[in-house]
Amino acid sequence: MPKQLTESLDTKSQPEVNLLLSCARTQITPEIADRIQTLVHGKVDWIQLIRLALCHDVMPLLHRSLQRVCPDSVPEDVLGAVRARYESQVTRAQRFAEELGQMLMQFEEEGILAVPYKGPALAQSLYGDLSLRPFNDLDIMVRERDIPRAPELVRRFGYELLYLRDISKLAEHMRTSRGCELHFHRSDGAILELHWRFALRMACVSHDPDRFLERLETISLAGAEVRSLPLEVYFLVLSIHATKHKWKQLKLICDIAEILRHADLDWQYVGAQAGDLGLRRMIAVGTLLAEALLEATAPAELVRELKIDRTTQALAAEVRRNLFNEPDETWHHGAEFPFQVKIRERLRDKASMLRQNLLPKLQPDERDRRFLPMPESFSSLYYLVRPVRWTWEKLNAR
């Protein structure tokens, strides 16, 4: 196994992890096939391997690689379980892709630009196979001004709005919410998310989503022609998305590795956009992860544009150390605020994030007024009272 890969896994390297990393890709070279064969014939905890594949949402890639390289060397019950999971994903993916195509046609008829995000569209354009990238819901990006018209359209497909019972409060919800999507569900368990930005408000990514919607392409999806993000744009927005989740799932890194394997992309565009938006370090972290874990190779023209410094390397190393930790109650939490600040290279972006996310927390509230009642003329002093109250409450909580 390449030295770079084994070092990246630290002391927690296990046969199951190594086998999963070797299988989690669409291109299997003779060297990788030999590695898979060697690992399969060694001591493998197959239950642990399946747990890892499910946790990191790469079961279809595991199935495809094992089926192609060494189907006779895998225990029959294990390969059968993996195959059954894959086949159920095939049926589900096709059904969702067909529905997504119909839904996008409805939006277009109403004059609303609606672009599929991740899900079937990404699976088709990046992996060339709807079933190779699992998805649990449908994601559609629309401009913020069109969001008020969207709920009625998705209701035609049986979806109902979650968390916001009073639609008259939609504008207020969009203005005050930390998120950037509306959640819908259907009685059969299907979930739909309507987004109006790719990045959270706290990430302070300028020109979102308009900058990313300027460059669209047409793809064929379950027999329908739909507008979609090209892979160059996906490289940017998937890096933003993965950063939000601190790259906790191998699937997020697989996406970046697969894009890097498309040598004919407009990498000059990617580098220019990353520099203009202050995302060079973010792009670099994903690139380092894809290179170290999945042996992808970044094009030279992209590397020249990236921010690969000690901070970038430290952030990538932090992700690698924790990637295969046993999931706990924080598994689905987003990346901590300090991580999201460190991954931005420009001081003005860091300042905007601090201003956007920390200043509201310094605003005095009713608890401060109850802690130390004062006349209204002294209300400005509550900015000094607030940290005192915080400290007092922390001390009393011990």
Cis peptide before 209 (omega within 30 of 0): yes
pLDDT over 90 (residue 379): no
Cα 302 to Cα 263: distance, rounded to the nearest angstrom: 11
Tokens of 195: 């987004």
Task: Express each pLDDT in 24-50 by its tens digit.
Answer: 999 999 999 999 999 999 999 999 999
Residue 355 makes CB contacts below 8 A (sequence gap 6+) with none
Report pLDDT for 325: 86
Tell me which amino acid residue 362 is: L
pLDDT over 80 (residue 78): yes
pLDDT over 50 (residue 1): no
Strand partners of residue 139: 193
Cα 337 to Cα 354: distance, rounded to the nearest angstrom: 9
Report pLDDT for 138: 95
Identify the H or E element spanning 171.
helix 170-176
* Nearest alpha carbon to residue 74 among 18, 83, 88, 22: 83
Mean confidence (pLDDT) of the chain: 90
- Which class would CATH give 92-226? alpha beta
Residue 122 makes CB contacts below 8 A (sequence gap 6+) with 116, 133, 234, 255
Query: 9: pLDDT confidence band, cut at 50, 70 and 90?
Result: very low
Task: Express each pLDDT in 261-290 by its tens digit.
Answer: 998 999 999 999 999 999 999 999 999 999
Range name among 8-12, 121-125, 157-161, 226-230 with the lowest pLDDT average? 8-12
Report pLDDT for 318: 95
3-state secondary structure 95-156: HHHHHHHHHHHHHHHCCCCEEECCHHHHHHHHHCCCCCCCCCCEEEEECHHHHHHHHHHHHC
Give the SS3 label for residue 361: helix
Tokens of 45: 């905890």
pLDDT over 70 (residue 66): yes
Task: Express each pLDDT in 337-366 by its tens digit.
Answer: 899 999 999 999 999 998 887 766 777 888
Report pLDDT for 70: 95
Q: Give the residue extent of every domain in the chain.
A: 1-74, 92-226, 230-349, 363-397
